[in-house]
Amino acid sequence: MIVNRNLKFGQVLFYTWKSILYYAVLSVLVYFLHHELEIDDLSVPFNAVALLSTALAIFLGFKNNSAYDRWWEARKIWGLLVNYSRAWGREILTLSFAVEGDPSGELDAWRHRLIYRHIAFVHALRVFLRGRHEYNNIDEQWIETSNTYDDIRPFLSAAEAEEVLSKENPPNYLLMIQGRELLEAHRRGWLSDYRFVQLSQTLTEFNNHQGKSERIKNTPFPRAYSFFSRVFVFLHGTLVPFAFVEVLGIFNIPLALLINFIFLSLDQIGERTEDPFENRPSDTPLTSISVTIEQNLKEMLDETDLPQKTEKIHGVIF
């Protein structure tokens, strides 16, 4: 998530320089052909371009709207994960009661285990989501962050960590283990039937948060929409230098570039926003949220050695 109010020129160029170069060369070429070689037929009536511009602007509006919705939904899901993680901590600590004859410390150990395993779940889900699909063709970014499953080891026993990491879907498997531990607590008498089901429902919330995140991750914005938006921007942009070349002369070059830069940007900001889990600067800040959850839950356990808040780097919080 970019938090600096102003983007740097270099960041903008990082993703658009190829297209801008193309439009610059084209503008110069059109000017040269028209005014130097005097090929007059090169001009395209402005009206034809304007007709496309309106349709394109509406289409890009739709695309940006949908991209933002995906990004914001991703943030909402992880917001819910924060809320229910705090509720999970509170419920584990207040809904389980010791019974007569418990060996000393067993309930406390159980509580500690269920809260730490939940922290592991959150980190595991982050790493799971930040993996990249080969078909998304994500290029190198100007800034990245690290996400590895080693981040979950401090919160699990060594054996459990090995077992979990051997699975196809580690976060889901962690929820399964949590369910088994609840069953065990019920058998021990720490949970009544009613409080047991209540905690099981909270696990179902986590099933939902995971599944909803996976949905966004695994379902790209329909390719037809984004493919054609790129194609339309390109076709429209290619016509633009021809539209004013006759009237404007050499000033046509900066003006055509300006117009193309704006349409190109409108397309690109949607493109960056629509996939929020790709380990890019415009991502939903999963790392930062994971650390907040870890911090909150450790504080509930009265621990004092809390993790540091994620700092912004180059104006970005991951």
Cα(185)–Cα(180) distance, integer angstroms: 9
Q: Give Cα separations from 285 to 2, 115, 209 (angstroms).
A: 9, 22, 15
Nearest distance, CB of residue 210 and its own copies, angstroms: 7
Cα(263)–Cα(193) distance, integer angstroms: 60
Task: Between 95 and 165, name the residue whose CB sits nearer to its own copies.
Answer: 95
The answer to whether 71 touches 276, Cβ cutoff 8 Å, is yes
Task: Between 153 and 265, name the residue whose CB sits nearer to its own copies.
Answer: 265
Nearest distance, CB of residue 115 and its own copies, angstroms: 12
Instruction: Please report, as a single letter, which amino acid is at residue 112.
Output: H
B/e letters for 125-143, b = 16+ CB within 10 Å, e = fewer, are bbbbbbeeeeeeeeeebee
> Which tokens in the block code for residue 273?
């926003």
Nearest distance, CB of residue 58 and its own copies, angstroms: 5
Give 2's strand partners.
Answer: 316
Nearest distance, CB of residue 306 and its own copies, angstroms: 7
Task: Between 45 and 154, name the residue whose CB sits nearer to its own copies.
Answer: 45
Nearest distance, CB of residue 153 and its own copies, angstroms: 21
Task: Between 273 and 287, name the residue whose CB sits nearer to its own copies.
Answer: 273
Task: Between 19 and 273, name the residue whose CB sits nearer to its own copies.
Answer: 273
Burial of 262: CB neighbours in 10 Å, binned 0-12, 13-18, 19+: exposed
